[in-house]
Amino acid sequence: MNNLKILYTSAEVYPYAGVGGLGQVSYFLTKQLKKEGIDARIFMPKYGNIDESKYPMEILYEGLIIPSEKGKDIICNIKKYEDKEDKDTPIVYFLENMEFYEKRSNVYGYIDDDMRFLLLSEGLMEFLKKSDWIPDVINCADWHTGHIPNLLRTKYSSEKKLKSISTVFSIHNLMHQGLFDHKNFNDLDFDNGKEDIADIYDPKLKKQNFMRRGIMYADIVTTVSEKYSKEILTEDFGEGLEHLLREVRTKLFGVLNGIDYTYMNPETDSNIIANYNYKNIVRRELNKQDLQKEFNLAVDNSPVIGMVTRLDSQKGLDLVEKVIEPAIRELGIQFVIIGGGDGSFIRYFSSLEKLYPKRVGTHLMPDFILPKKVFSGADMILLPSKFEPSGITQMESMRYGCIPIARNVGGLADSIEDFNPITQKGNGFLFTEYDPYALMSAITRAVENYKNETIWKEIVKSAMKRDFSWENSSLKYIDIYRKAIRLHNHIKDSKEEIIYQMYML
């Protein structure tokens, strides 16, 4: 019996306010938990562009006071959205506040993001104090929600109603730890996580490391792939938190993300011109021609390599800059890239397109339709990330039979099997060293195998048959929630709080 009550708390949740992978996971995981019979709900801010005529809401609490000692108390409302027609859509509680959310149309990127997200955590505590519905577990996502486990253990620890709530803190990207500059702090500014959380209006808040606190105080910590949960114990991937993570490694687990198999389905997708499944992959040809026409590329049989990515240094774009011209000239590839971000990369790829108009296509801003044209029409997708906690694009593209050429890290390593020419098994091409030669040799291997139609067809089929649906991963989360409850009760019941103290050393 799945009689659990779970509250997923996140700064972004698709479709209300989705920026990237975090928004997708927050929504589709919660939705899958509902399908598994769990009472899973969502808590998030009500940003300015969330449309109440599309998502009709009822006011649950008006004038919820979030106390502040340094400034004036902050007054919020709690609104509830429930899709009465679709029982699989989770109930969403929105925290409404004019100054911090309503007036802002973006999710992130404001100078007071520390205040905005501490408000989210404090707002949740004040809401739950009043609420009849109390979750067994709060699943917090990334630094924005890192103060929730901390508040439950300290400021709100004597609240009877909140005592039994367990916490799972999910790391989606360790690089972002709050406004705290975790790479260049001076010793005086170091946050050991044990001092009280600063008041919302106290400038000291900017120096507190939200991510560290989430990790320290949660009953369980998860990452979005198993491999990343091991990588972050090392200096190379730990972003300065590797010592803490090693200390708490017994409560650290990795669960690979999934993707939504209804939304991402080449058999029914209305955004592509030819639908197909693994039994009739020749129909991908029509989508390839459509993609080539869309970007004014030569319509021919050259291998087309796509990239759908944020233009961010995490994504290994400096390697791409070094290899893409030789790959065009020597291997005869075409290249299509979709995604927005860093201005220097936008300038580079625009000038590349001007240099090779028939071989390079770009759309240098985010888009929802073009990625599907890439997944269904390109032969390969490039993912040379420096680090990749999970990555979603490789799963989406494999579902559409577009073969990943990727670095052997994090979720990429956990979802892609390197093609082995002897056993003829595999569904992608992996490289290990973060270096342009290693990337170029993976591209060359992919292109050589592409030339053999029989082999390539098998690789495509094998990629399309992999199961990345949320069903598998959501069951692992359910286990983790149960574990969190056991651990929490154990800590709560033992007077000396032995385990808890152990983490705090």
Only one residue has tokens 């929490």, namely: 488
Q: Does 257 bind ligand GLC (CB under 6 A)?
A: yes
String of DSSP letters for 67-113: --SSS--EEEEEEEE--SS-TTSPPEEEEE-IIIIIT--SSS--TTH
Cα 247 to the chain's mean position, in Å? 25
The nearer residue to ligand GLC, 30 or 287, going by C-beta atoms, is 30
Give me the least distance between CB of 42 and ligand GLC, in Å please.
16
Residue among 162, 181, 148, 211 at smallest CA distance from 8: 148
Site string for ligand GLC, 400-439 (x = CB under 6 A): -----------x----------------------------
Binding mask 196-235 for ligand GLC (x = CB under 6 A): ----------------------------x-----------
Q: How far is the CB of 213 from ligand GLC (least distance, A)?
A: 19
Residue 391: CB minimum distance to ligand GLC, A: 5
Nearer CB in complex with ligand GLC: 476/490: 476
Cβ within 8 Å of residue 276, ≥6 positions away? 266, 267, 283, 284, 376, 401
Closest approach, Cβ 257 to ligand GLC, in A, equals 5
Torsion of CA 204, 208, 214, 216, to 10 degrees: -110
Minimum distance, C-beta of residue 298 to ligand GLC, in the bound complex (Å): 33
287: contact with ligand GLC by CB under 6 A? no
Tokens (6 digits) for 11: 């700064």
22, 74, 76, 311: residue in contact with ligand GLC (rule CB under 6 A): 22
CA distance 496 to 104: 45
Q: Which amino acid is present at 375?
A: F
Q: Is 272 in the site for ligand GLC (CB under 6 A)?
A: no
Q: What minimum distance in Å lies between the beta carbon of 291 and ligand GLC?
A: 24
Residues 350-389 that bind ligand GLC (CB under 6 A): 388-389
Point out the residue whose Cβ comes nearest to ligand GLC: 21
Q: Where are the alpha helices (DSSP H) in 380-469?
A: 393-399, 410-415, 436-450, 453-465
Angle between helices 453-465 and 436-450 (to 10 degrees): 110
For residue 159, the minimal CB distance to ligand GLC (Å) is 31
Residues binding ligand GLC (CB under 6 A): 20-22, 25, 172-173, 224, 257, 388-392, 411
